[in-house]
C-alpha cells in the first residue's frame, strides 16, 4: 500500500492531462525560484550601489567630479548615479546653449531625472509581474489538474460493480498531487512578491528623495529663489 501510494507512483499513475499539469507546474516552480534568486541578488546590488553613491554625493565631492565619475562608470553605475548623470547632463547642455533662465534650467534637469527614474524603476521591477502571475494562477492550474484527475478516477470506477476505499484512494491521491504542486509553486512566489514589492517601494522613495535634494542643489546653483520665498 505504501509503495503504491508513493509520490513517484502517484505521478506515474496519473492520467496524461494531470501529468502535463504537474510538468507545467514544476517548470513554473523552477522558473519562479530562478527569478526569485535573480531578483534577490539584483536588489541587493542596487541597494549597495545607491548607498555607495549617496555616501559619495554627500561627502563634499564637487558635482563636476561626480559627473565625470558617473560618465566613466555608466555601465556599472547604480540607478541613483544614472539619475544624477541624466540631470547633470541636461543641466550642462542647457548651460552650453546659453540659456540663462534659472527656472528653465531646473525644469529641464528635473524632467531628465524623472524620465531616468521611470526607466530605472522599469528595470528594478523586472520579473515582479511574473511572480505575481505565478502566485495567483498556480493554485488554479493545480486545482484544474485535481478536478480532471478525480473525474478520470470516477469514470474508471463506473464499470466496477463493487467500489471500496482501496480502489478509490489511488485515483484521488493522484489528482491531489497536482494541487500540492500548485501550492508548492504559488507559496514561495507570494512571499517573494510581497518582500520584493516592499523593497522596491523603499528604493523608489530613496530615489525620489534624492531627486528632490539634488534639485534643491541645482536650484541654489542656478540662483533660483526657493518656491516658498517666491510665494511669500
Residue 199's pLDDT is what? 96
Q: Flag whether 230 is in a domain.
A: no
* pLDDT value of residue 104: 86
Residue 188: predicted pLDDT: 95
Based on the structure, what is the number of domains in the chain?
A: 1
- How many helices (H) and strands (E) are present in the chain, helices listed first? 8, 0
Domain limits for position 157: 7-223
Could you give the CA distance from residue 103 to residue 101 in angstroms, rounded to a whole number? Answer: 6
Helices (H), the chain: 7-13, 16-57, 63-72, 79-96, 102-124, 128-157, 165-222, 227-231
Within a domain: 43: yes
Domain membership of residue 192 (yes or no) is yes
Q: Is 110 domain-assigned?
A: yes
Please give the Cα distance from 128 to 145 (Å, whole number). Answer: 26
Q: Which three cell numbers stand for residue 145?
A: 489538474
205 belongs to a structural domain: yes
In a domain, 2, yes or no: no
Beta strands in 102-196 (DSSP E): none
Query: Would 232 be classed as within a structural domain?
Result: no
Which pLDDT tens digit goes with each residue over 174-230? Answer: 778 888 889 999 999 999 999 999 999 999 999 999 999 999 888 887 754 443 333
Q: CB-hemisphere CA count at 13 Å for 39? A: 25
Residues 59, 111: Cα–Cα separation, whole Å: 26
Question: Which portions of the chain are predicted below pLDDT 70?
Answer: 1-14, 156-171, 223-232
**The pLDDT of residue 166:** 59
| Residue closest to 83 by CA, chosen among 123, 43, 44, 45 | 123
Nearest C-alpha neighbor of 211 from the set 125, 87, 97: 87
Q: What pLDDT does residue 168 have?
A: 63
Rg of the chain over CA atoms, in angstroms? 28
User: Residue 3: what pLDDT?
Assistant: 44
At residue 15, what are phi and psi to the nearest 5 degrees?
-70, 165
Distance CA 29, CA 47 (A): 27
- CB neighbours of 25 closer than 8 A, spacing ≥ 6? 138, 141, 142, 145, 178, 181, 182, 184, 185
The pLDDT score that the predictor gives to residue 2 is 43
Domain assignment present for 150: yes
User: What is the pLDDT at residue 175?
Assistant: 75
All three cell numbers of 190, joined, read 507570494
Amino acid at each position: 500500500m505504501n509503495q503504491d501510494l508513493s509520490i513517484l507512483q502517484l505521478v506515474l499513475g496519473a492520467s496524461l492531462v494531470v501529468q502535463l499539469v504537474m510538468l507545467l507546474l514544476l517548470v513554473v516552480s523552477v522558473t519562479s525560484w530562478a527569478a526569485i534568486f535573480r531578483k534577490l541578488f539584483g536588489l541587493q546590488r542596487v541597494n549597495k550601489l545607491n548607498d555607495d553613491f549617496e555616501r559619495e554625493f554627500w561627502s563634499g565631492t564637487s558635482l563636476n567630479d561626480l559627473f565625470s565619475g558617473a560618465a566613466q562608470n555608466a555601465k556599472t553605475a547604480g540607478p541613483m548615479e544614472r539619475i544624477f548623470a541624466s540631470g547633470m547632463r541636461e543641466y550642462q547642455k542647457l548651460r552650453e546653449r546659453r540659456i540663462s533662465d534659472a527656472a528653465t534650467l531646473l525644469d529641464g534637469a528635473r524632467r531628465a531625472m524623472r524620465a531616468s527614474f521611470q526607466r530605472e524603476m522599469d528595470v528594478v521591477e523586472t520579473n515582479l509581474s511574473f511572480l505575481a502571475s505565478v502566485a495567483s494562477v498556480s493554485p488554479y492550474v493545480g486545482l484544474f489538474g485535481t478536478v480532471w484527475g478525480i473525474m478520470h478516477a470516477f469514470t474508471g470506477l463506473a464499470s466496477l460493480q463493487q467500489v471500496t476505499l482501496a480502489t478509490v484512494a489511488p485515483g484521488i491521491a493522484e489528482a491531489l498531487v497536482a494541487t500540492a504542486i500548485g501550492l508548492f509553486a504559488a507559496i514561495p512566489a507570494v512571499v517573494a512578491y510581497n518582500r520584493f514589492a516592499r523593497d522596491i517601494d523603499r528604493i523608489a522613495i530613496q530615489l525620489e528623495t534624492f531627486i528632490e535634494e539634488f534639485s534643491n542643489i541645482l536650484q541654489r546653483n542656478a540662483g533660483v529663489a526657493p518656491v516658498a520665498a517666491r510665494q511669500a
